[in-house]
Structure 1
């Protein structure tokens, strides 16, 4: 879906396809018919944005075979879908039985990560709608925090220089600008906006910036306005918003809250958990660690990196951080200028909910409707063209 900001900027809203299990081109094309088109029909719109996740093998095929790329473009157009952003955080295997820390491999010290990201940018430049010249690709925040010795940090910085050069060359060839956004995440080398300023400051703002995941921001107990001002002051643009909500237990010592949290402690994805204390934010790498006593439960709320559906709260007495997401949208899009052009609803956890929905397309459509209402409430107007 497209929206017009009062300043005339087009703002794109879509959902991320990493919720679907597809790691070859046939599977990607099938998910457009099986899931994305039904989401569009539930919403009753003629055009729906989809942020594609394309595993390494799919990107390799699309980058090398113009016929395969043309087939994907044709399928998108035929089903009323458009792509302005790719999620290039997971490299492959995002729906295997156990993902956990494997999602951070390869990291930005590895040549494979650079080449994958540049290939994603090339594919996206070809997939962009004919009337759109700006695309975005989101990626991991350099690496998981350990091990990260100086030589790997230096290798990553050199890779970012080469990434900038590659993106500039791509724009000169295609006339389309693709920007890459690094996504701060709890437990990583860059987990907060403060660390983003320190470790990513000085990058070319025309090519590189931040993918701001609202769930991650909330888990780290970052106040949205302060965080966004920090990034702006450092010249780090928000190239993409991942519209997502964390799970919060206001009283993690409550037996009912702990029982509900246990039902979220599933084996596939990593669910970093944090609490805010007088001494600062404390955390553990996964929810089972917190439930096993490694995180204080008597000093304040816990927030869990579990992407909760935007439009509904999790099992009581748990709640979501939808209010924080609303603040992010207000800060970036509620003022006189649009400070971000791409919004991607990224609830990839539907399949690991204690009670997965019977109709996934209806659930995703409800999330997008929630986001649409927030945008129109900020003065943006839906563009039906």
Structure 2
């Protein structure tokens, strides 16, 4: 869906389809006519924005057969759906029984990541609505931190140079600018926004920037004001919340231990790569913890647990209304990205949940002065 910012800029709000398991084109078409259509109906959106996730397998099929790409664009139009942003973080297997660290492979030192991202950029130019000339792709924060060497850093820099060159050539050929945002995440080479500045500050500012994930920033204990003022282009904001446990109440987090995804956990005095390690004594219990478990935006977990929704609301305000005035927003692409519905405790209706998250978000944006188009 689209919202008009007080400055006159159009802000795009979407939900990320990496919550759905399909990795081939047949499954993606089924998503569009099934759950996405239902979310659109539940949300009452005239046009529903999708942060489309295309696995490597699906992206290759679209790249190799223009007719399939044309059919996908037609299906989006038929269903009242639009795509201005892609999630290019998971390469494939995002709904395997165990994902954990495999979500970071291939990383930006490997040619497969570069080729995949350039294919996504080419695809996105064909999927953009006719009246939109700028798209975005979120991607991983270079690599997981272990194994980072000078040789690997050099390979990453070489690939980013080729990426920027390819995006510039694509813009010249199509008239459409595709921007890639690297997403800081706990435990990765680019874990914080200062690290993003240090490692990406010299990159092409027109085509490369950061994707801020509010859950990741909250787990990293970053101040919203600092994240909003990092000095790099903010290609996209992923609208998300982490789960938080008060001092002494951390055992309630045991309900969120599961085997599929990594749940980095932090407090003011330490960090663990996954929640079971923290619960086994890896973090002190006399301080609050935040865990990288994307929580529904609109619903609080059972006490004593809470979420970092207040942090998200502050971040939205700082990005949408910089300096409290009518200046343009610091990002125009927003993506609700609660991909953990399938591993949340208890029964859930994903379509109803995502529709409620979109409503939660647009109500916050309306309070900031944005009006739905």
Please give the range of the TM-score, normalised by the shorter of the 2 chains: over 0.9
Q: Which residue of 2 aligns with 1:246?
A: 242
Per-residue CA deviations over 1:107-165 (Å, capped at 9, x if unaligned) read: 00000000000000000011000000010000000000011111001100110010000
Q: Which residue of 2 aligns with 1:315?
A: 302
**Normalising to structure 2: TM-score of the pair?**
0.98
Q: Kindly report the root-mean-square deviation, in angstroms, between the aligned alpha carbons of the 2 structures.
A: 0.8
By how many angstroms is 1:82 displaced? 0.1
> Is 2:343 aligned against 1:352?
yes
By how many angstroms is 1:250 displaced? 1.5
Range that drifts further, 27-36 or 92-101 = 27-36
d(CA) in 1 for partners of 2:31, 2:303:
32
**Normalising to structure 1: TM-score of the pair?**
0.95
Equivalent of residue 362 in structure 1, options 319, 339, 352: 352
By how many angstroms is 1:93 displaced? 0.2
Q: How does 1:53-72 map to 2 (within 5 A)?
A: 53-72=53-72
Q: Which residue of 1 aligns with 2:276?
A: 288
What is the total number of aligned residue pairs between the two structures? 369
d(CA) in 2 for partners of 1:172, 1:382:
32
Q: Which residue of 2 aligns with 1:330?
A: 317
By how many angstroms is 1:227 displaced? 2.0
By how many angstroms is 1:315 displaced? 2.0
Q: Which residue of 2 aligns with 1:211?
A: 211
Q: Which residue of 2 aligns with 1:339?
A: 330
Q: Which residue of 2 aligns with 1:86?
A: 86
Structure 2 unmatched ranges of 5 or more: none
What SS class does the counterpart of residue 34 from structure 2 fall into?
helix
What SS class does the counterpart of residue 263 from structure 1 fall into?
helix
Q: Is the 8 A contact 1:88 1:117 kept in 2?
A: yes
Per-residue CA deviations over 1:265-295 (Å, capped at 9, x if unaligned) read: 1000000000013xxxx20000000000111
> Is 2:358 aligned against 1:371?
no
Q: Is the 8 A contact 1:350 1:356 kept in 2?
A: no
What SS class does the counterpart of residue 53 from structure 2 fall into?
coil
d(CA) in 1 for partners of 2:185, 2:226:
17
Q: How does 1:1-385 map to 2 (within 5 A)?
A: 1-229=1-229, 231-232=230-231, 236-251=232-247, 253-254=248-249, 257-258=250-251, 260-277=252-269, 282-298=270-286, 300-335=287-322, 336=326, 337-357=328-348, 359-383=349-373
Per-residue CA deviations over 1:278-329 (Å, capped at 9, x if unaligned) read: xxxx20000000000111111x210000000000111211000001111111
Q: Is the 8 A contact 1:138 1:211 kept in 2?
A: yes
d(CA) in 1 for partners of 2:44, 2:141:
36
What SS class does the counterpart of residue 211 from structure 1 fall into?
strand
What SS class does the counterpart of residue 212 from structure 1 fall into?
strand
